[in-house]
Amino acid sequence: MTKGLLAVYTGNGKGKTTAALGLAVRALGHGKKVCFIQFIKGAWKSGESNLAQKFAGLLDFHVMGRGFTWKSDDLEKDRAVARQAWDFAVSMIRANTYDLIVLDELTYLIHYAMIAEDEIVDVLAARPPALHLIITGRYASDGLIRAADLVTEMLAVKHPYASGVKAQKGFEY
């Protein structure tokens, strides 16, 4: 039996977006069409956004946030941007033109009460039957976990930042 799966990568460890990118690259390797939507990360240049240019036509990449919400200077603007990003994601899900859609950092929209959990879970449940969805971010809600077919929790055991090593191009972004 094949069906579109809903995967959630959550937890306080690094690697959630990276795991989603790995599945996106796997799908691209099979000629599948992928949409990658980042909800929180700002417009800074990342390796994944550079990758999208090389896979034009198969990988659509959208950075929809204003940056990390916990550093926000205007939460109302963040809420408005989150609503626009969610509405865009809903339209991509319902369009049924992708094989895989990644909703990177979507968990924060629920955690920060920007979009109601029920609204998100209802859209995910009504997705096209063959569509694979990946959701990433800390604080996955109980409703997202119940709705998912696969849930992986990333656990922080050791991180170079604790030793003073800052984020590096090609490894963290």
- Could you give the residue numbers annotated as active site? 12, 14, 16-18, 26, 68, 70, 105
CA distance 104 to 40: 8
Alpha-carbon gap, residue 121 to 125, rounded angstroms: 6
Spell out the alpha helix ranges (H) of 67-150.
Answer: 75-95, 107-111, 117-125, 142-147
* Cα distances (angstroms) measured from residue 32 to each of 2, 35, 59, 83, 112: 15, 10, 9, 28, 33
Contacts of 133 (CB under 8 A, 6+ apart): 4, 5, 6, 7, 93, 100, 101, 102, 103, 124, 127
